[in-house]
Structure 1
Amino acid sequence: MPKVSHLFFQSGIVFLIVGIGMGLQMSISGVHNVTGAHAHLNLLGWVTSALFGAYYALNPAKAALRLAMIHYGVYTLGVIAMIVGLYFLLQGNTSFEPLVVVGSLVTFAGVLIFAYTVFAPSRTASPARPRPAE
């Protein structure tokens, strides 16, 4: 499995564990004020990261490009910033709103990088041309 795929799956699992923890905390306490952060973390953190990892596993030529690691870094940083900001914003701390905005934009940039990766043609080695007869 390509390194970037493995990283996306590892991060996704961490996001899933934290997301489930948030859900359990809400369920146990009966206070559901961070439902939005919980849902975003599970969807963007776990599901989307796993899909990115699967795509790169199925497309090792694209996974080998430097852009794949840039995608991983940008997207993961964006999700972390957005979720931390959203968690505290939903708890009533409005000073975290700029972090939600920046994190959302960085996450979106990560999605745009992935879209470019998907639509860009694969760069594979050209097949050997037959030599002219001597």
Structure 2
Amino acid sequence: MGIRLIKIAGVYFVIAILMGMYMSMSHQFQLRGVHTHLNLVGWVSMALAGILYHLFPAAAESRLAKIHFWLHNLALPVMMLGVAFLSYGRTEFAGIIPIGAIPLIIGLILFVVNLFRNVK
């Protein structure tokens, strides 16, 4: 589980860096919120979770780890799509954000619960 999260975190890192490079070259910064969230919630949070799961195999092998993994990876792109639409003024798509944000938050809470239960 830890290695899977670290690898996917690397993918989010590349996407965020390319997005940042595009924004700086084009001088169009509407997607800075997406760029920031991909870096923090995609790259940093997933990489740290992956490292912790690698260091504490009992946490990585739990059912909570699997649920966290899938909620995080399915919800983050949905939330980012909503933030991207909103960044371009498409307020009619704002409802997409909580569809992604709520499962993402649940996944992160389950990650913390998993830490308390299985990291010793």
Report the TM-score when normalising by structure 1: 0.83
CA distance in 2, matches of 1:97, 1:84: 10
Once the two structures are TM-superposed, the CA of residue 122 in structure 1 deviates from its matched residue by 5.8
| Cα RMSD (Å) | 1.5
Counterpart selection for 1:105 from 102, 116, 119 = 102
Match for 1:24: what amino acid? M
Q: Name the structure 2 match of 1:91.
A: 88
Question: Deviations for 1:24-56, whole angstroms, at most 9, x for unmatched residues?
Answer: 111111011111110011000000000000110
Note the residue ranges of structure 2 that are not aligned, 5 or more in a row. Answer: none
Q: Which 4+ runs in 1 deviate beyond 6 A? A: none
Note the residue ranges of structure 1 that are not aligned, 5 or more in a row. Answer: 124-134
CA distance in 2, matches of 1:94, 1:26: 22
- 1:1-134 map, 5 Å: 4-121=1-118
Q: Where is the helix percentage greater, Structure 1 or Structure 2?
A: 2
CA distance in 2, matches of 1:29, 1:121: 46
Bigger relative contact order, structure 1 or 2, given CA contacts below 8 A and separation 6+?
A: 2
